[in-house]
Structure 1
Amino acid sequence: MFCYQCEQTIGGKGCTKFGNCGKDAKVAALQDLLIYQLKGIGFYGQKLIEKGEKIDPEIQKFMMDASFSTLTNVNFDPERFIEYLKEAQKIKEILKFKTKGIEDNIPCAAEYILPDNEDEMLEDARKAGIMYDDSLDADIRSLRQTLIYGMKGMGAYAHHAHVLGKMDETVGEFFFKGFSAVTNDNLTVDELFNLIMKFGKVNLKCMELLDRANTEINGNPEPTEVVITKKKGPFIVVSGHDLRDLKELLEQTECKGVNIYTHSEMLPSHGYPELKKYKHLIGNFGGAWQEQQQEFDDIPGCILMTTNCLQKPRESYKDRIFTTSIVGWPDIAHIEEVNGKKDFTTIINKAIELGGWTEDEPEKKIIVGFGHNAVISIADQIIEAIKAEKIKHFFLIGGCDGSRPGRNYYTEFAEKTPKNTIILTLACGKYRFNKLDFGKIGDFPRLLDLGQCNDAYSAIKIVLALADAFKCDINELPLSMILSWYEQKAVCILLTLLSLGIRDIYLGPTLPAFISPTVLQVLIDKFNIKPISTPEEDLKTILGS
């Protein structure tokens, strides 16, 4: 195997025997082969799009779901990947039939025929590996992989929008355009780079689509206090990102005496009016995703994993963790959707059987719910505070968390920000500091939690509103972005920020292994991307003192 798609890849170069995420060589091979299949589907699908034909929405959905399934910490079940591979072959044959007459420059991925035997699939996966063609130009490989990883991230956001009933043709069709492009040996470095910038704009549309889906169904997030301590009684901890799964579970547990806690990226759910109205959405449990093995160890309740962020379950809680949707682990109970609904009876009964915690902890709370609607509604007050020099600077400190040493940088940076500055935060990186008391500037909390990683859209909306109010370019605002990355959703968000021309982003804790030195230099030259150094040095550079 060879995988370098996440920040914690071994040695900062690549996992070659076993993934740091818990992925074994078999699953890695099947994922490689699935991406290979998507390249073939992309080729035929793009030919149809160029002819002015529409692609079946179900095929578009397969492209986003299959991309999402290969994202870090989502699915570790080889049987599920074999199902995806077989479905991919059927779809490819359908599109191939519709494009009869194409004879020139057909890529190998398009002509590939999946064998029935698993051993043969694993053997074929060698040709689908990232490093299979050792003659490929390193910069071309780097840009191709960057685009693929961006599409994996967008696949997650498009999936979440789709389950809430939202699709967009531009977003859906880009999966074909992108996967087709990475099979085209005629595309130059400049052409691939330009396509990646176009992808960034498409991903912005995808994030806007998901924001609209979430808010139309659940209302606009409101500043809300969330209990972060334990309450007596049976419980289910919900992790991941999927608001629809949470809502269905809340409906099915109402009046059953089962408390529901959010975990990690589900924390922002408490700000949505249509979710927080359920009184048994009792609070938030634990911290970021990488702490789950310690936090879930032998707990007297159940866990529901709704999207990525899954780690290898310990034996102490293997009987009480459930997966749903794209998520999977071998021999773990999986809750399927049937006719558009999910029956959570099994996990609910298990939670009741386990009994839950036996006493309440002393209550502690934090505040969430500062989405773009909440912040922009008080924009005039913020603008006045800036003009009065009560607010001197904004720091967007957010992104993915992880266990690699060096991530304490983000805690220390947040702690060292001057008291006349505002911290905007989002995604699970905020767990490094979101329970600290940063105080207030007037009526404003200094720490504003904007939400999940996909709520980077909120950050963009807020920044654009400020730039419009001050009649200036985004890069002229008193704003600095201090970002942490771990997986491919962070990649697609970064590409969106770059596509908007945002400069001077500080990125860490390390730079992506899939970015070649030449491509990195282009990013530095065009956007002045900076690797993080120390909080003291970076703050000195930013604030000029």
Structure 2
Amino acid sequence: MFCYQCEQTTRGTACTVQGACGKTPDTAALQDLLVHAAQAISQYAHRLGKMGIRRKDADAFVLDALFTTVTNVNFDPARLETLLRAAAGLRDELRALHAERCPDTLTGPAAWVPAADLDGLIAQGREVSIDRRIAALGPDLAGLQELVMYGLKGAAAYACHARLLGREDEGVHAFMEEALTALAEDTPTVEALLELSLRTGAMSVSVLALLDGANTGAYGHPVPTPVLMGHVPGKAILVSGHDLKDLEELLKQTEGTGINVYTHGEMLPAHGYPALKKYAHLVGHYGGAWQRQRGEFDAFPGAILMTTNCIQQPAPGYADRIFTSGLVAWPGVTHISGHDYAPVIAAALEAEGFTGESPDRRHTVGFHHDAVLGVAGPVIEAVKSGAIRHFTLIGGCDGAETARNYYTDMAVALPQDSVVLTLGCGKFRVIDQDLGTVAGLPRLLDMGQCNDAYSAVKVALALADAFGVGVNDLPLSLVISWYEQKAVAVLLALLHLGVKNIRLGPKLPAFVTPAVLKVLVDAYNIMPIGTVQDDLKAMGLAA
């Protein structure tokens, strides 16, 4: 296997024996083949789309296939084989439609013939692995191809979240299939791939806006809400991941059962949405970021539902009371289909539940762009008066390395006349800190999930407009932690918007080679994080 799509790849180069996430070589090969199959479908769907023919099932499958291969989503070879068989059947239908209108025979992924058994599919996956392309194209071109691919994967994940709430964008589907076709067919050049990266960023902005509209359209605009960071006595279900629809349906089905529902990880911002916070049995948040789940889930005395990416290999202590939904899969774990959570509810009722009460510690969520822009006037006046000197976005993905303590240390070291914005599970590096207030506002504003980077962008653009300056002229610094492909989509979105001077860590992506990094540094001044004091000095914020 060869995988370097996440930040924690082995030795910062690539996982070649087993994934740091727990992915086996066989699963890695099947995921590589599924991406290949998505390209096969896209080659036909792209051409048919230009003829005015769109197949919604093809559009949906491409999104699902890409999201399935995001880090910590699907680890189940049997499920992956089912998807690959479905991909081949769908590709054949599209090929027949295309043949009715055009005699051209497509090559590359479009010509893939699936092997007869699972071992054969695994062997085919190894033939289309990234290291084969690195050998053929060199690390720079292959790395740029993967930069585009990971942006597509991250955007596909967000588009899947939006689709669950009934929001889709035909333009997003068309670009996804165009980009996958380009990666499969075009002769790669640095210039063309950089252009495609920025176009992927533009599409990512559209997807982030789409998901923002889907979430707020379904559940209302988030409002600042204190959340219990602990537990109360009673039976319990823990919901982790990102999909608000799963949480809503579970809340409906558990109402009146005596079961309390808790969020975990990136589900914390759900408490700010009016249509979700109305459920009295959504009582609090348990635990921290995704990488702590094995210990936290083991100690949780109830059932656990994993709704999207972030799953790790379940520990024996909770393997019989964890469930997956959507595209998430782990071999041997019960999967929930169609939002029927009866097995989850039964497991929660059988479990002990909490017998005591935790200390009453609260964290306030809900500083969505609607809430922040609602007090834009006082914020602008505070900046003009000098009461607020700087805004620093500290957020993104969390992970296990001790180097991520940098983000905690940065939040603590920032001067008292600065505001800290946070989002994503990277927030768990800073939300335990009491940063106080400035100009009558909390110094720490939790803007939501990783996809709520859109909220931060809207706030930044609104402030830039109010001050009559460009976004890069604002007293704003972005100090971003990344882990997986959603973060790549957000990064490309920021680059498309022209945002510069982003500090990225704890280390730079392995697929961004020195030559590619130079291009990004020259154009956008992207830089790795350094020491807290050196970075504060460079930001003009040193004491």
Match of 2:517 in 1: 520
1:395 lines up with 2:396 in the alignment: no
Match of 2:52 in 1: 53
Match of 2:334 in 1: 333
Which one-letter code corresponds to 2:92 in the other structure? E
Contact 1:425–1:450 (CA under 8 A) maintained in structure 2: yes
Distance in 2 (CA, whole Å) between partners of 1:420 and 1:105 is 64
Deviations 1:372-394 (A, max 9, x none): 00000110110010011000000
Match of 1:82 in 2: 81
Contact 2:369–2:455 (CA under 8 A) maintained in structure 1: yes
SS of 1:207's partner is helix
Which runs of 5 or more residues in structure 1 are unaligned?
none
Distance in 2 (CA, whole Å) between partners of 1:314 and 1:202 is 38
Equivalent residue in structure 2 for 1:423, among 408, 417, 420: 420
Deviation at 1:474, TM superposition (A): 0.3
Distance in 2 (CA, whole Å) between partners of 1:544 and 1:283 is 36
Which one-letter code corresponds to 1:321 in the other structure? I
Match of 1:107 in 2: 107
1:128 lines up with 2:125 in the alignment: no
Match of 1:70 in 2: 69
Which one-letter code corresponds to 1:484 in the other structure? S
Contact 2:158–2:207 (CA under 8 A) maintained in structure 1: yes
1:412 lines up with 2:413 in the alignment: no
Which one-letter code corresponds to 1:296 in the other structure? F
Match of 1:471 in 2: 468
Match of 1:442 in 2: 439
What TM-score, normalized by structure 1, do the two folds share? 0.97
Distance in 2 (CA, whole Å) between partners of 1:243 and 1:501 is 30
Contact 1:40–1:107 (CA under 8 A) maintained in structure 2: no
Distance in 2 (CA, whole Å) between partners of 1:137 and 1:402 is 29
SS of 2:132's partner is coil
Distance in 2 (CA, whole Å) between partners of 1:517 and 1:237 is 42
Deviation at 1:107, TM superposition (A): 3.3
Distance in 2 (CA, whole Å) between partners of 1:58 and 1:505 is 38
Which one-letter code corresponds to 1:251 in the other structure? K
Deviations 1:211-270 (A, max 9, x none): 101101100000000000221110001000000000011111111110000001000000
Q: In terms of mean alpha carbon deviation, does 293-302 or 450-459 score higher?
A: 293-302
Distance in 2 (CA, whole Å) between partners of 1:534 and 1:116 is 54
Q: In terms of mean alpha carbon deviation, does 72-81 or 295-304 score higher?
A: 295-304
Deviation at 1:458, TM superposition (A): 0.5
Deviation at 1:436, TM superposition (A): 1.4
Distance in 2 (CA, whole Å) between partners of 1:349 and 1:442 is 49
Match of 1:183 in 2: 184
Deviation at 1:544, TM superposition (A): 5.9
Deviation at 1:198, TM superposition (A): 0.9
SS of 1:297's partner is helix
SS of 1:99's partner is helix
Match of 2:90 in 1: 91
Match of 1:163 in 2: 164
Q: How many residues align?
A: 540
Runs of 4+ aligned residues of structure 1 deviating over 6 Å after TM superposition are none
Contact 1:74–1:308 (CA under 8 A) maintained in structure 2: yes
Match of 1:3 in 2: 3
Q: In terms of mean alpha carbon deviation, does 189-198 or 446-455 score higher?
A: 189-198
1:201 lines up with 2:198 in the alignment: no
**Are residues 478 and 343 of structure 1, via their aligned partners in 2, closer, same or farther at CA, if it must alter by over 3 Å?**
same
Equivalent residue in structure 1 for 2:353, among 351, 356, 365: 356
Deviations 1:88-146 (A, max 9, x none): 11111122222227677833211011122111111111211011141213222111111
Distance in 2 (CA, whole Å) between partners of 1:543 and 1:184 is 47
Which one-letter code corresponds to 2:147 in the other structure? T
SS of 2:394's partner is strand
Contact 2:45–2:55 (CA under 8 A) maintained in structure 1: no
1:39 lines up with 2:39 in the alignment: yes
Contact 2:165–2:215 (CA under 8 A) maintained in structure 1: yes
What do you get for the CA RMSD once the two structures are aligned? 1.2
**Are residues 441 and 544 of structure 1, via their aligned partners in 2, closer, same or farther at CA, if it must alter by over 3 Å?**
closer
Deviations 1:145-192 (A, max 9, x none): 111111110111000000100000111112211110111242421111
Deviations 1:249-296 (A, max 9, x none): 111111111000000100000000000010110000000000001111
**Are residues 544 and 458 of structure 1, via their aligned partners in 2, closer, same or farther at CA, if it must alter by over 3 Å?**
closer
Distance in 1 (CA, whole Å) between partners of 2:179 and 2:513 is 20
Distance in 2 (CA, whole Å) between partners of 1:111 and 1:7 is 33
Contact 1:21–1:73 (CA under 8 A) maintained in structure 2: yes
Which one-letter code corresponds to 2:538 in the other structure? T
Deviation at 1:298, TM superposition (A): 4.4
Which one-letter code corresponds to 2:446 in the other structure? D
Match of 2:117 in 1: 117
Which runs of 5 or more residues in structure 2 are unaligned?
none
Which one-letter code corresponds to 1:477 in the other structure? L
Equivalent residue in structure 2 for 1:433, among 430, 436, 441: 430
Match of 1:295 in 2: 296
Contact 1:107–1:183 (CA under 8 A) maintained in structure 2: no
Which one-letter code corresponds to 2:58 in the other structure? I
SS of 2:318's partner is coil
